Chain A
């Protein structure tokens, strides 16, 4: 078993964040408005300059409701078909909601190459848009897949339906075991955090609530980093991350998160929860 472990800082490095910001600003300033505009060519060039991205449709599946029920909580799942990956090892996966004010919703970094890179999360969708996932292989090749989602208003939807309660529980985490595939089945981390977008109105002051969102979610098993997620405002309130442990991994799970105001929260579970 070959484990490639990189320091956390590598994954939360500033250039990436700067790139996300520049992309957001660049698009706001330069993109022509209009419902039918395809932002992807510009977005792609901004996020992966000069690189060729080929279709990953033969082994990547992106699942999202065609018409979202709640634009602030749109479940998105990216599954990889290991049997058809033909030696491709995924180093990172970028989830992009093309028409959101900050299009990059999350970047999943995989420090180990024995991990099924299938992941899921919940995003906000601001207007009818394509949602893209771009997988970067360890050899540098890029693969993309997209679906169209009909939803609107997710970024400005009020923070929570019962004000006050969420704040009292900020930073609380849950580890959920999904499905019944034994220890190797998918897990889900839930993190109580408003993940404010900067586009929501304060119910009392009538000013916009400053953006306040999860920047990094690091998941360790047996002390080793197995998944590092860069978040942004497009992740839903109380962010959820579905993932799988590396094959044969038997250690306890620790999760550390850091938000954009520098607050950090930790949680640990001795072993993946039993059924």
Chain B
């Protein structure tokens, strides 16, 4: 497989002195991802997961910070999330081709965040059906410009509008798709982590791909509604699964025990924010005090907690 990153760099390299620099920048993501298949774990029969890095997106990890995976049926394959760049998507495709030659029938996006969706472009040539929550296309379009700017800041000019492949098969309630004697149950949730959360349950093995409705070890990020997310957790815990693939954290975790940490965190944020609001506390007071007892329990706490409190405060002040 030719690496498009390298191809572009060679073109840019025609500028002579520019060659060394561009190769130094561009070789890394290619050698780290696109040329080498992602290292997948088979967490259940026919269910493969790549565990994303617990970090912000960087050139080194090429945006490969979310858990992504695929499920192999008798007749076809479904991909669930594609990573934070074309390169991660290509590496995922290479990993799939090490396992099976079956057609990739579905690429399912659990929500619109770039670390889950920007690898879609790597699958276009496979002609899958891209699947997402009914709210996903407008939500992604509204954010596309800022996501693209951020991707270019981190990954360079390789990041392009072509990476924004928007699902055309949209799910608004519950739907079952079949990979050949293997049914996947898709469920669209009301606004929670985002307004476009979609879960995938592999009935054959009881494996739930929860997307970012479930975070493990990495601090949850509220980009939807804290009240909605708590309601979603209440509904999620009734899903008859044996294990969960969280959007971030270990590739596989026991269900529903894996919900406990996130539930504790979100309930604490809601409770402490409501207490601040009840006594007339300001947004500044809330961001300076809410949730701090959770500090040592989550990775990237300092990067996201105050932002989560801002989201919770500006939502709950209208209760």
Contacts and interface: CB of A to CB of B under 8 A. Distances in A.
| Chain A complexes with chain B | yes
Interface string A153-175: 10011110111000001001010
Interface in A70-92: 70, 73, 75, 77
Interface stretch (A22-30, A93-101, A198-206, A215-223): A198-206
A261 interface: no
Question: Binding site of B, secondary structure by majority: helix, strand, loop or mixed?
Answer: helix
Contact of A180 (B195, B279, B282): B279
Interface in B271-319: 277, 279-284, 287, 306-307, 309-311, 314-315, 317-318
A9 interface: no
Contact of B282 (A172, A178, A275): A178
Contact of B146 (A156, A178, A190, A238): A156
B46 to A, nearest CB: 36
A157 B224 CA distance: 13
Contacts of B315: 161
A161 B145 contact: no
A44 B191 CA distance: 44
Given A69-B306, A201-B145, A161 B282 contact: no
A176 B277 CA distance: 9
Contacts of A162: 191, 195, 224-225, 228
Nearest to B309: A69
A238 B314 contact: yes
A201 B314 contact: no
B223 interface: yes
B279 A202 contact: no
A158 B283 contact: no
Contacts of A231: none
Interface residues of A, number: 39
B75 to A, nearest CB: 36
A65 interface: yes
A179 interface: yes
A176 B89 CA distance: 49
Question: Binding site of A, secondary structure by majority: helix, strand, loop or mixed?
Answer: loop
A242 B282 contact: yes
A70 B144 CA distance: 18
Contact of A176 (B135, B142, B317): B317
Nearest to B191: A162
A75 B314 contact: no
A242 B317 CA distance: 14
B306 to A, nearest CB: 4
A124 interface: no
A177 interface: yes
A33 B317 CA distance: 39
Interface in A92-121: 120
Interface string B130-159: 000001001101111110010000000000
Contacts of A69: 287, 306-307, 309-310
Given A75-B283, A153-B146, A161-B311, A203 B317 contact: no
A192 B143 CA distance: 22
Contacts of A75: 282-284, 287
A179 B280 contact: yes
A201 B143 CA distance: 8
Q: Which of B145, B146, B282, B306 has the most CB of A within 10 A?
A: B282
A238 B317 CA distance: 11
Interface string A7-39: 000000000000000000000000000000000
Given A156-B146, A203-B139, A161 B195 contact: yes
Q: Which of B142, B149, B311 has the most CB of A within 10 A?
A: B142
A63 interface: yes
A238 B225 CA distance: 16
B246 to A, nearest CB: 21
Given A153-B149, A203-B138, 8 more contacts: A73-B314, A75-B287, A153-B146, A157-B146, A161-B195, A178-B281, A188-B282, A201-B143
28 contacts: A65-B306, A69-B287, A69-B306, A69-B310, A70-B311, A73-B283, A77-B284, A157-B146, A159-B142, A161-B194, A161-B195, A161-B224, A161-B315, A162-B195, A163-B135, A163-B138, A172-B318, A176-B277, A176-B280, A176-B317, A178-B280, A179-B280, A185-B280, A192-B318, A201-B142, A206-B141, A238-B318, A275-B280
Interface of A: 63, 65, 69-70, 73, 75, 77, 120, 122, 153, 156-159, 161-163, 169, 172, 174, 176-180, 185, 188, 190, 192, 200-204, 206, 238, 240, 242, 275
Q: Which 6 residue pairs across A and B have the least CB separation, nearest first?
A: A203-B138, A69-B306, A69-B307, A203-B142, A158-B142, A201-B142
